[in-house]
Structure 1
Amino acid sequence: MTAQIHVPSLISRAGAVSALTLAAVGGSMLAPGAASEAHAATTVHAGKALKVAASKRGAPYRYGAAGPSRFDCSGLTLYSYKKAGKKLPRTAQQQYNKSKHVSRMSRQRGDLVFFHSGGSVYHVGIYAGSGKIWHSPKSGSVVRLEKIWSKRVWYGRVR
């Protein structure tokens, strides 16, 4: 839901003119800091994808697997977002290319975390908050929650 202000109580002179003009023509203004409907929907999908990934704790790694019981890294993110109603491409690099890139300071729970070497992405997980990700790390391992171990990461938001 978008927060709207039709008659702001304390606004600058320039803001008052804009607000009055909008009110006269039947418009509305977004309140500063209010989430747009699109952003709110993205947050819902991200939260659901994060819960799906966490529910797969202990599932074995298998190269090329995308669930429901075995996963590689990008298979886990693809499966989690598919269950949340969003479509992702298959590989970590393709997922990076399709996501909206966000800064470390702007990252949110449910964002994708891409590990890279140079310009190539080689691993992906789902940001869980507090510097941790849900991921399917490597052969012989299982889906788990783990601290981000490298500073060489990029963040992406699924649209």
Structure 2
Amino acid sequence: MVATVGLSVMISGTIAIPSNTAYAYSSSKASSVIATGKRYMGVPYKFGATAGQTRNFDCSSFTQYVYAKYGVNLPRTSQAQSHAGTYVSKSNLKPGDLVFFYSPIHHVGIYIGNGNMLHTYGAGGVKISNMNNSFWKSKYKTARRVL
């Protein structure tokens, strides 16, 4: 008999977490999500990009694609994603949290620490932006923890 309690199984690069495992925030999983997202730096932005492909992204197709690699199934739109997981205050953000902008919400990024987010928006495609600059700071709305 092989004991598998507490083990994760690697399947095609995705960590399979047993359904009976209680899940709490994981900084290692957050680091993996961020590293995966950074692999797409510079991929062009396209509003309404087709979900599941990587030739271009809009903000929510990007977060949906990256988190899916780690077993987190997010809805397709930033508005719908803003209801996933649990609320987290701006002062308690951790890397891997989703950050949302505008009212009504129509932009999402991945918080990566030190006031920065990984996202795709306009020229330059997938990039890192500081959420504390005057542009993003004034548009910040909420955040959710999905890891």
- Asked if the contact 1:99/1:158 (under 8 Å) is kept, the reply is yes
Which has a greater percent of helix?
1
The aligned counterpart of 1:144 is 127
Q: Distance in 1 between matches of 2:96 and 2:108?
A: 12
Q: Alpha-carbon deviation of 1:85?
A: 1.6
- TM-score, L = length of structure 2: 0.74
1:47 Cα offset (Å)? 2.5
Q: Which residue of 2 aligns with 1:51?
A: 35
Paired residue for 1:85? 71
Question: Any conservation in 2 of the 1:46–1:81 contact (CA below 8 Å)?
Answer: no
Q: Do structure 1's residue 124 and structure 2's residue 108 form an aligned pair? A: yes
- State how far apart, in whole Å, the 1-side matches of 2:38 and 2:121 are: 14
Partner residue in 2 for 1:22: none
Q: Who is 1:26 aligned against?
A: none
User: In 2, are the aligned partners of 1:46 and 1:84 still within 8 Å (CA)?
Assistant: no
1:155 is aligned to 143
TM-score, normalised by the number of residues in structure 1: 0.69
The residue aligned with 2:24 is 39
Paired residues, number: 122
**2:28 and 2:63 mapped to 1: Cα distance?**
16
Gaps of 5+ in 2: 1-21
Cα distance in 2 for residues equivalent to 1:83 and 1:38:
16
| 5+ long unaligned stretches in structure 1 | 1-36
Which of the two has higher C-alpha Rg?
A: 1
Amino acid at match of 1:135: H
Which residue of 1 is the match for residue 59 of structure 2? 73
CA offsets per residue over residues 64-90 of structure 1, 9 Å max, x none? Answer: 223322100001100110112211000
- Read off the aligned partner of 2:32 and give its amino acid letter: K
Return structure 1 stretches of 4+ with deviation > 6 angstroms. none
Give, in angstroms, the shift of residue 38 of structure 1.
1.8
Q: Percent identity?
A: 36
In the TM superposition, what is the alpha-carbon distance from 1:59 to its structure 2 partner? 0.3
Give the CA deviation at 1:116. 2.4
